[in-house]
Amino acid sequence: MEDDRYPAPPMRRLRVYAFDPQASTRPETAGVNVATIKLPWEQSWEEELRPGPINDYLEVIDVDPVSGQFYEPVDLNHPYLLAQDGLAPSEGDPRFHQQMVFAVAMKTIRTFERALGRRVLWAPRRVPREQRQNGKPYQTIEKLRIYPHALREPNAYYSREKKALLFGYFQTSAQDAGASWVFTALSHDIIVHEVTHAILDGLHRRFAEATSLDSLAFHEAFADIVALFSHFTLEEAVRAHIAGSGGRLDNRSLLSGLAKQFGAATGRDGALREAIDTNPGEQTPVMLTDSLTEPHERGAVLVAAVFDAFLTIYERRTGDLLRIAGVKLGARSEKELHPDLITRLAREASKAAEHVMRMCIRALDYLPPVDVRFGDFLRAIVTADHDLVPDDVLGYRLAVIEGFRRRGILPQGCLSLAPDSLLWEQPVHRLTAEHADLKLDLEPKFRRSDVIKAAAANAEQVHDWITGSKTFKATEDRPWQQVCGVVFRRGLCKEDDLETILSRSRDPNRNYPPVEIHSVRTTRRTGPDGQDLRQLIIEIAQQRRGFLDADEQRLQDEPDGGAVPKPGDFTFRGGATLVFDLREGHLRYAIRKRISDNVRLEHQRAFLLENRAGNLGLLYGLTDGGAGEYSEPFALVHRGR
């Protein structure tokens, strides 16, 4: 409720567990396990915070289906709560559970928005054909729903079908868990992990599809990366660790582990997952191989590579401080580190973690829209950071490259691992949005509802440009088709293999294969030296029928083969992420996976055939050969974590 007599406070302060309830039962961590999250107070153009809590982004609904309970929603605007930074951490008060999932989720959203330079939007919900209005296959989602007590089982996951976060709770007999009942909604790591899944799905809705071993593994790895680096925003915890470790961060600890209480409660020795993949004294890290098939296990290699880069950057940022103080990093000494040195080291650790996390988040705009691979992520990190910070004086990009190289994560098609070789190639043609006759609404929007409407209108205009009834001119539109790697319309470029490979779409009566415009978004980012980077990013994807029988694939793809068109056994996708420089007005990058790439098609076919049976097939939803879109991949992936 607004009151013009007094100015609104700048921040809303809410207490949460810094890690999870288990840390409050241990003498060495109890003193640092309560953190206060600061969220910007709602502005006049934003929706007023309501009990739940409910705001522009989130809607917390506390229903417990197993017990049949509906818990009273917490009112964070109550004077008693405003006076004491919200409810005190409590395992037994459902209202604190609501407060914690809301506060940590909003903190994660704000982290992404600062790095991306725009508002976070949720993935749309696919509408069944019989329920569609005006023929639109997708429904806009304004608020992500959060259910703190949705499941009575050791699980928590992001539901792509419900567009919601579902947190479970369960009983455990493990003494190390520090409680007889474990609530995943009280784990800082698990909340950040699940919110990141939802944000990533909103950015790249096809990343959760089974196209290779890297597909779901990337989703899991990226969610772990964000959760891991969120630890370093907890100042007291970082200070305590540095004071006890002589300034070192390369040993396994509460900071390097994820979801320790959940890991103990489910029978693991220590944290659920670890970012440090080598033991003290070991030099050889875990390498990425095809034998690593489980998403978390495979994704852990990517997490370790990124954390390795963070450790290198931290050591470079603090080397001079330690030399001035006459301290050898990690060396045992009877003399404790000076409190001022501890403060400086903790500050540098937090800055390094924030910098690496932002590098990773910004890279999301430089990934292809389909079939993402770990090597693509490395190229995206290097290119995105180069665009914003051309002069890498401190060698941050080299640190990232080295972390990936040490674990065998190498991108395809690059001459070397030199930073300039890893940059995405720029298009041969100088193309602008005006050349495509696109008149997009690029004006800044303050209300989130206006941002959502403008994004939908822009996406519809781009879709009409590609698939509409206008007459295409080969001289103008042929370059666009070539750089995007998808088919606009037949006859546009007859000599291109795109034309012959896609002579038939799923529906033989259509004149073009189905095309999706996943997003049209603008960004504005500021570099450390005041660099101002403004971009327009468009994601285009297209689907093609894939067949498990290679001979049948050739018959269906052959324009004059005489085969009767039929539905495919699985969906193969291609597309491109178009990155425009708004200052110069031209297309800077077209990061694509061509729909006509038969080598990639063969790799996806082999992956599906090899893994369609058994546990991995069930995990990826491949038991039917992968023909359908598996709507809840994270439910099974996260069961038992």
Cα–Cα distance, 6 to 8 (Å, whole number): 6
Given a cut of 80, is residue 618 above it in pLDDT? no
Quick one: average pLDDT of 309-329? 91
pLDDT for 308 equals: 96
Cα–Cα distance, 527 to 383 (Å, whole number): 14
Lowest average pLDDT, out of 335-349, 412-426, 437-451, goes to 437-451
Span 255-279, pLDDT tens digits: 999 988 988 888 887 788 899 887 5
pLDDT for 441 equals: 87
Burial status of residue 225 (CB atoms within 10 A of its CB: 0-12, 13-18, 19 or more)? buried
SS3 of residue 505 by DSSP: coil
pLDDT for 492 equals: 52
Quick one: average pLDDT of 370-375? 97
Given a cut of 60, is residue 503 above it in pLDDT? no
Cα–Cα distance, 503 to 560 (Å, whole number): 9
Q: What are phi and psi of 176, to 5 degrees?
A: -65, -15
Cα–Cα distance, 504 to 478 (Å, whole number): 20
> What are the structure tokens assigned to 465, written together?
């440009």
Quick one: average pLDDT of 594-620? 80
Range with the largest mean pLDDT of 26-40, 100-114, 275-289: 100-114
Structural domain boundaries in the chain: 11-422, 448-596
Residue whose C-alpha is closest to residue 146's, from 106, 177, 114, 113: 106
pLDDT for 114 equals: 96
3-state secondary structure 295-351: HHHHHHHHHHHHHHHHHHHHHHHHHHHHHHHCCCCCCCCCCCCCHHHHHHHHHHHHH
Length of the chain: 641
Cα–Cα distance, 198 to 163 (Å, whole number): 8
Cα–Cα distance, 94 to 74 (Å, whole number): 9
Lowest average pLDDT, out of 7-16, 143-152, 631-640, goes to 631-640
Q: What are phi and psi of 197, to 5 degrees?
A: -55, -45
pLDDT for 235 equals: 87
Amino acid at 514: P
User: Which has more pLDDT, 377 or 415?
Assistant: 377
Lowest average pLDDT, out of 66-70, 199-203, 212-216, 559-563, goes to 559-563
CB atoms within 10 A of CB 5: 5
pLDDT for 627 equals: 43
Q: b/e string for 336-355 if b means 16 or more Cβ within 10 A?
A: ebeeebbebbbebbbebbbb
Quick one: average pLDDT of 318-331? 83
Share of the chain above pLDDT 90, in %: 61
> At 513, is the pLDDT very low, low, confident or very high (cuts 50, 70, 90)?
low
Q: What are phi and psi of 139, to 5 degrees?
A: -110, 130
Please, which residues have CB within 8 angstroms of residue 489's CB and are 6 or more apart in sequence?
Answer: 467, 472, 511, 512
Quick one: average pLDDT of 416-439? 83
pLDDT for 506 equals: 46
> Residue 579: left (phi > 0), alpha (psi -120 to 50), or beta?
beta
Mean pLDDT for the chain overall? 87
pLDDT for 35 equals: 94
Q: Is the peptide bond before 513 cis (omega within 30 degrees of 0)?
A: no
Quick one: average pLDDT of 290-298? 92
Span 129-147, pLDDT tens digits: 777 777 677 889 999 999 9
Given a cut of 70, is residue 371 above it in pLDDT? yes
Burial status of residue 427 (CB atoms within 10 A of its CB: 0-12, 13-18, 19 or more)? middle
Share of the chain above pLDDT 70, in %: 87
Span 8-46, pLDDT tens digits: 899 999 999 999 999 999 998 999 999 999 999 999 899
| 495: Cα separation from own chain's centroid | 38
Residue 516 pairs in a beta bridge with 541
> Helices marked H in 72-209 — which ranges?
79-82, 94-116, 188-203
